[in-house]
Structure 1
Amino acid sequence: MNQIKTHIHVLVLIGLAALMFQSQPAFSQTDLNELRFTRATLIVRDLKTSAAWYRKFLQFKIEEYRPNKHVKMRNNDFQLILTQGNATLLKSQIRFKEGKKYINGITKIGFDINQFDSLHLYLERYEQKLAKDTYKDKNLSLNTFIAEDPDGNLIQFFDVPDNNTKYTVTPSFFTIQSSDYINTLKWYTSHLGFEEIEVVDDSNIHYQNFLKKDDITLELIHLPYESMETTEFMPVDRDLAMIEELTFKIGVAKNKAFELDNNGNKIVYMR
């Protein structure tokens, strides 16, 4: 009986691998005025480990590998840049000052997945850590779960089926934590054109809001006074493993309109 179960598990994994390695374009722009989420840059502790994770589970292909410097990866129109940190500190290793609990900044990126259950099973089978298992997001009306990459960065996946039989990964989501909530809300609505959507579930311990622009969702979380900036705790000679920069484009995108948001987060806008 155990041999039969093992055989079934092997067949399931083979099927999952077949799906995962037949990727479709991440997204295609149909309107020149459509905002696109085109790049994310992460500071990592170990290039090989992180590159292997994104290649295995998200099907990113390596474009350029420079040992001890960076790895450039791509899933069609979306680029991922992994930068080697210096004596990299993980968020789990942070020693917060007394009374501090949270960090301001970019804390999460997310993707629409058409093979949602298969990806979940794939991550689970290889014992990958989930920060939050599958649940229904009442505000977005989507099933979702949150995984952790090798450095503890939060990567959220949303169940968005389509007619493709091949695996698709579409960048669609990012999270900003800010202790300056009102001005951050104003900045993203005025500079990037995001609009608030109705919050139907406000059970979050801190005030949370969702904004949308085209097919991109911004989760904005208002942190209390117990939050702090990385400059308050990071040693000068070390880097923090984190989502360092996000890039968005409209149209042919030849010029940079700005490179920082009101909190100093690296939000690059190309137009």
Structure 2
Amino acid sequence: MRSTIALVSIVSALLFSCEPSEKFSIDELTIVTKDAKIMSDWYAASFGFMDSKDYSLLYHDNLTIKLVENPEAKRRDSLKKDYNIRFVPGIHKFGFATNQFDELIDHLKSNGARFHGSVVKDSILNTRMIIVKDPDNNNIQIFESAQPDRLKPNFFCLITENVGEQEKWYQVNFPIEQSHRLDQPENDVYIRLLTGQQVAIELLQVDHTNIMDELDYPNITGFYSMEVKGANVSFEYDHDGNKIFTPPTK
């Protein structure tokens, strides 16, 4: 009897140790930029971030943005030409949910923000969204939400070289509840939209490449890394090697 109880206790411990100990959140985003002041001013004016005196940090209620200035960094568009690819592997889009969608869009328009397309309704997420470009041409996707937050990070998109393996990795390590397959094989495009209550992740494979290991991301403009809390386990990188990590354990 004691051995049965002990076995049940061990199994229970293993099961519950795989569950997140805290609510999932995206707490930090690092961006490599050629001009930190221009980026800092834009995020402060566009989204209400508070900036540091040296333009290296931006603060909001739910997110800290680190700006790493590197005047010698290559722009992603130049890499597309160098490698003859449509998209550079890595973090392609970052997204916020807002309960003030129309007000925020009007504010961005009044500030002269550049949009990619217009407002559309996502049939899977069942919400309106739009993409805005920051000064370095990074894609910020904004989603309408009924939640109480004015601005909460809840989405990112990855350009991947192996959509199937990335999908499996995120299903295991993130609080994902559903995976939606949106492949377009006639265009050689393979897409997964992974959704959960606290996060949505788009995985996009559009080029048959194997260049990620040779790309020097600290010397490329754009989204460089993300810190998340409340994931199922601790990690420093995802399956592809993107620097998406959990805080060091104390």
Indicate the TM-score class for this superposition, using the shorter chain for normalisation.
Answer: 0.7 to 0.9
Match of 1:133 in 2: 118
SS at match of 1:257: coil
Deviation at 1:207, TM superposition (A): 1.8
Q: Does 1:196 align with 2:185?
A: no
Is 1:229 aligned with 2:201? Answer: no
Structure 1: distance between partners of 2:131 and 2:210: 22
Question: Which residue among 48, 53, 78 is the counterpart of 1:59?
Answer: 48
CA contact (8 A) 1:194 1:212 kept: yes
Q: Contact between 1:104 and 1:227, CA under 8 Å: does it hold in 2?
A: no
Deviation at 1:36, TM superposition (A): 1.1
Residue of structure 2 aligned with 1:218, choices 180, 194, 201: 201
Contact 2:175–2:199, Cα closer than 8 Å, also in 1: no
| Mapped partners of 2:174, 2:113: distance in 1 | 34
The aligned counterpart of 2:243 is 266
Corresponding residue of 2:166: 184
Partner Cα distance (1:127, 1:228) in 2:
36
Q: Deviations over 1:229-271 (max 9, x none)?
A: 3835x6x9x82111000111029xxxx9221111110001236
Give the match for residue 11 of structure 2: none
Q: With structure 1 as the length reference, what TM-score do the two structures score?
A: 0.74
Deviates more, 1:72-81 or 1:41-50: 72-81
Kindly tell me: are residues 239 and 56 of structure 1, through their superposed partners in 2, closer, same or farther at Cα, counting changes over 3 Å? same
CA contact (8 A) 1:181 1:222 kept: yes
Distance apart, 1:152 and its partner CA: 0.6
- Does residue 119 (structure 1) correspond to residue 104 (structure 2)? The answer is yes
Kept after mapping to 1: 8 A contact 2:179/2:194: yes
For 2:83 and 2:69, locate their aligned partners in 1 and report how far apart those are by CA, in whole Å: 30
Distance in structure 2 (CA, Å) of the matches to 1:217 and 1:101: 23
Contact 2:46 2:111 in 1 (8 A): no
Q: Take 2:202 and 2:45, find their aligned partners in 1: how far apart are those partners?
A: 27
1:142 to 127, 141, 144: 127
1:83 paired to 2:68: yes
| Deviation of the 1:222 alpha carbon | 2.0
Describe the shift of the 1:227–1:134 C-alpha distance in structure 2 as closer, same or farther (beyond 3 A).
farther
- Number of the residue aligned with 2:139: 154
Q: Who is 1:45 aligned against?
A: 34
Counterpart mapping for 1:239-250 below 5 A = 239-250=219-230
Of 100, 105, 108 in structure 1, the residue corresponding to residue 90 of structure 2 is 105
Identity of aligned residues (%): 22
RMSD over aligned Cα, in angstroms?
A: 2.8
Q: Which runs of 5+ in 1 are unaligned?
A: 1-30
Q: Deviations over 1:170-204 (max 9, x none)?
A: 111011110111111111112224233345x6669
- Partner letter of residue 208 of structure 1? I
How many corresponding residue pairs? Answer: 227
* Shift in alpha-carbon separation, 1:195–1:50, aligned structure 2, 3 A: same
Partner amino acid, structure 2, of 1:220: L
Q: CA deviation at 1:99?
A: 4.4
